[in-house]
Structure 1
Amino acid sequence: MKKIITYGTFDLLHYGHIQLLKRAKALGDYLIVGLSSDEFNKLKGKKSVLSYQERVDLLSAIKYIDEIIPENNWEQKSRDVINNNVSIFVMGDDWKGQFDDLSEYCDVLYLERTPEISSSSIKQNILNKEKLIKM
């Protein structure tokens, strides 16, 4: 069985996330998603709109995902790859080069992101609309 793993916060789930997950799953038989915990997001300076459990619930409904594990720190990726017998580590190409050290344990692929959408752009659009409403 060929296992794939990817990581992310997956806050404000959108079409680009679904495309990434679909493409990752197509690379193998079993897709594991390492979902950033609320505590890890704080360490990264990120605040999610949705809680960890809400994001787990959303991701659990996606047919491409076979398993969700918590991501609690940067260092766990190599352990996750080894412990889960992962064949391919996948991330969006905005992370290109950041995880090449994992190629010691598995193939590392950076998939092109869906260019017209991101969680950051959605958050910015919401903020801009709120500013217009207050005017």
Structure 2
Amino acid sequence: MMGVVSTPKVVGRQVYGSLYECDNEVLKDVKRLEEIVKEAAKVGNMTLLDIKSWKIGEGVSVVAIVLESHITIHTWPEYNFATVDVYSCGAHTDPYKAFMYIVNELKAKRYTINEADRSSEF
């Protein structure tokens, strides 16, 4: 008699949004933003592999590659605005916690949050 074979599942959870009325000085600070992303990876129980950042005018883009996928922040200090994307393929991770950590550290007075379940069963 054959047993029931469970279907493999790929877990994919994405939390992303726009942050408004953020702390202008933080939005310009490359090193501070890198620290925030590093800590967000820890808060979300993700394994940081690499981090790159670019100063673009007054704004900054930070891209972190985590073992489970990525975390990004893009800032526009002239508008006190940032976008954040946290995507994880690990069931053990919490991209929502990582996203909310970033919201708090950028001192956003308001924000939008979107969640996408990108999991798949085969």
Q: TM-score range by the shorter chain?
A: 0.3 to 0.5
Q: Which has the larger radius of gyration?
A: 2
Structure with higher RCO (Cα < 8 A, 6+ apart): 2
TM-score normalised by structure 2 residue count: 0.32
TM-score normalised by structure 1 residue count: 0.30
